[in-house]
Each structure stands twice: as C-alpha cells, then as structure tokens.
Structure 1
C-alpha cells in the first residue's frame, strides 16, 4: 500500500485541474438534458473526460447513437497507444489486474506512472500498486466532481470559464515530460500537427497528433539506437540494464562455482 500512497501523492497536484474538468462534464451533461443520475452513471461507465464531453455535446444536438459511439471511440483511440507503451512494465499481471488497469487508464495516470517506471526499477507488483494509487485517486476525484457538477447544474456561474482548466491540466503533464531534445522534438511536432489538424471532424486531430508523435518518437529511437524493451520483455531503462548486469554477474559466479 506504500506504493499506492506514493502514486496518489505524486498525482495530487494534478487533481486541482481535474476538479473543474469534472464539474464542466457534470454541468454540461445536465444542460444537454440528462438527469443527475444519468450524468453520474455515464461518468462511471465511460470514465474518459474528452470523449465524455464530446458525447454529451452530441447528445445535446440529438445526434444519432452511432455517431456518438463512433466519435467517442475515435477520441479514445489514444488509449491504445498508452496501453501499448505501458504494457511492458505490467506484462506479468493476471487478467483481473489487467482489466482493472485498463478501465482506470487516463492521460494523467499514464504520464505519472510511466515517468516513475522509467526513473526507478521497482518490482511489477510495486508498479501495479503505484499505478493504481495514481489512477484511483483520479477516478474518485473525477466521479465526485462530475456528481457535484451534475447536481449543481446551471447554478455554476458561466463566468468561471472552467473549460480553461482542461488544457492547463495537460500542459502540467507535458512540461515535466520534456527532458531532452528527443522529447522536445516529439512534443513540438505533435503540437504543430494537433493545431493544424484541429479542423478535422470528430476530434480526429487528437488521434492524428498522437500517431504522428509516436511515429517521430520511434524514428528517433531507431536513429539513436534506444529501444524501450529488452529481449526478455523487461523495460530497457536504467533498471533494466542494471538487472541485465546483475544476471550476467550471477551467471559468471555460477560458472566459477
């Protein structure tokens, strides 16, 4: 549980941006014609801020169900990239742990956990608890904020401009992740593509920017010879290299014995 507490503590500053984001989702849902119960139920089932807001807007515009579902799926395609990126660090988990981890996956939990996993070399069980500590603190905060927003409804003053908290939250995640020229290049290219592709329908600009950013990152990795995973499936960070060194030393010691 110490690892879970560490994950929650690291995520705590980000929650300040999640609260107004959740309030916006709850208020918007009620304004679109949902009851507070429906708004909360949707939040629990979907648990994806950007796609929730997009779906709520489409519900308010009485769009066909197929369009609403397709839009939400397209926006959430980025989680496929997140899952593929974080999977090597949680490779040996059982099915129940994987299902729970997939359900609570968010942009914030992904960024916080991946940064921790790359800097340290904890065991897989410790990684899981750290990730869950981060993800569940976000889940609880989001659900409470959405419920408060749904109950408050139109009582929240329009002049608060709560929507501005959304980009600020993502900027708070981005800036610490830019550590060198490599990550700066990926962030810059993704940002330019995201702005240029903002005119695409169904928020496809988000997916396009993410895909291009991944492609640039992979290309730079191949060029510099940096690979994220070793041959046995362990992450190839400093911890992975240390484990390989320890294993090699153990083998040499066994040969001498």
Structure 2
C-alpha cells in the first residue's frame, strides 16, 4: 500500500517520538551547562542550530570552557562524529535518486536517532516511495526538539540546583540500548556490538576520543568478515548434505 507524503511525514514524527523523549533531558542539560560557561546565549544556541550533534556539543563546550585550542576541538569532534559517515554510507543507496537540494538537508539532520528510525523503516518498507518525507518527519521533529530543549535548559536549568548531577543523561544510554538491541538479529551484529563495547572500554583513555573510532572500525571489520563467511558456510553445509 502506497502512503501519501503527509502521512509519511507524520509517521516519521510518531516513530521518532520515543527517542525524542529520551533526548529531552540530554538537550536540557546541554543548555544548562552552556549557561555555566563563558559562552553567550547566542553561541550556545548556534551550536545546537548549526552543529546539531549532542555528544560533540557536550565535548566541544567542555573544551571551550577549558580554553582548549580550536584545532584540538575540531579534531576531537571529528572523531566523535565519524560514525555519521558510516550512517550516511548505509543510507546512500536509498537516497541516490534525490538531488542535492534534498540530500544536503538529510545529511545535516542525520543523527543516531534519525538513522535508527530510518533504518527500521527501510527494513520494513523497502519498496515504499517518498522515503525522504518519512525521514524529514523523524529528523525534523528531533531537530526542533533539540532547539527547544537547549533554549529551556539555558534559561531554566540554572534555577534547578545541581541538575547536571541528577543522572538524567542516563536517558540517552537507555535510548541507545533501545536503538541497538533490535538490530542484533544474527551472529555478525551480535559480534559487532560485543567488540565495539569491549574495545570502547579498553580504549576509553585514548586521546581525543580516538578510541571510539578505533572501536567502531574494528567492530565493523569483524561484522563484515562474519557476514561474508556465513553464506559460504551455509553453502558448504548444503553441499555436504547433498553429497550425503
């Protein structure tokens, strides 16, 4: 059944809503932390409006507050956000027919949450047209939510004592668990998650978050190896059964 563009836009918003609820305290804390630094309200909001990357914003605002040089800030946030390149590569086959005027804003709005929602949708509706409308519904909803939470966190967060230490950021941890677990559907994906988790702990103290990049690439390499090996093993078992 083919759905209309407006239906897909609203469906994207609906599907992204649970992840948005988890992102609300994260954005609120970012705005509150921004108020505690020497950055102006305009600078704090500009990061949400232009950068739009939660983990990178938290790291950048901490480095800026510490007076870190801009090359270090750029390098660190690059490594932290490198995973978005992998997300984009995964979605590329599904957006090739769109022009740059559509793909550019899709790339800008790409986050962990929008990628998870979009990937799940594509697995279930491979032949459904107007994917971009669904994507913009989910990603655009997340973008607007992030701006509102930053604004409220900046002006309201300071009136709540010690809010940054309440552990509200655990909501994002729970959200990421919710994103990852449904994707663990075979040996390759399970191995990918385990390798990434173990290596990220081992490389936790690597400078400029390079451990995250190393862990991600290592996990992807393991998953690719297992994905390529599995069909060969299955074929070999079938041939043995045929000979038997």
Smaller-chain TM-score bracket: 0.7 to 0.9
Q: Is the partner of 2:18 in helix, strand or coil?
A: helix
State the shift of 1:69 in Å: 1.5
Structure 2 counterpart SS, 1:98: helix
* Alignment equivalent of 2:138, drawn from 117, 134, 138: 134
Superposition CA RMSD, Å? 1.6
1:182 to 171, 184, 188: 188
1:9, distance to aligned residue in structure 2 (A): 0.9
- CA drift of 1:35 comes to 2.0
Show the counterpart of 1:154: 158
1:153 Cα deviation (Å)?
A: 4.0
- Provide closer, same or farther for how the CA distance between residues 225 and 4 of structure 1 changes in structure 2, counting only shifts above 3 A: farther
Q: Of 206, 211, 218, which aligns to 1:212? A: 218
- Please identify runs of 4+ aligned residues in structure 1 that moved more than 3 A: none
Aligned twin of 2:201: 195
Residue 86 of structure 2 corresponds to 81
Structure 1 unmatched ranges of 5 or more: 227-257
Measured at CA, do residues 204 and 156 of structure 1 come closer, stay the same or move farther in structure 2, by a change above 3 Å?
Answer: farther
| Partner of residue 172 from structure 1, selected from 174, 178, 194 | 178
> Structure 2: which 5+ residue stretches go unaligned?
1-5, 233-244
Q: 208, 220, 227: which is aligned to 1:221? A: 227
1:198 partner SS:
coil
Q: How many residues align?
A: 225
Q: Is the 8 A contact 1:31 1:153 kept in 2?
A: no
Aligned-pair CA distance for 1:89: 1.2
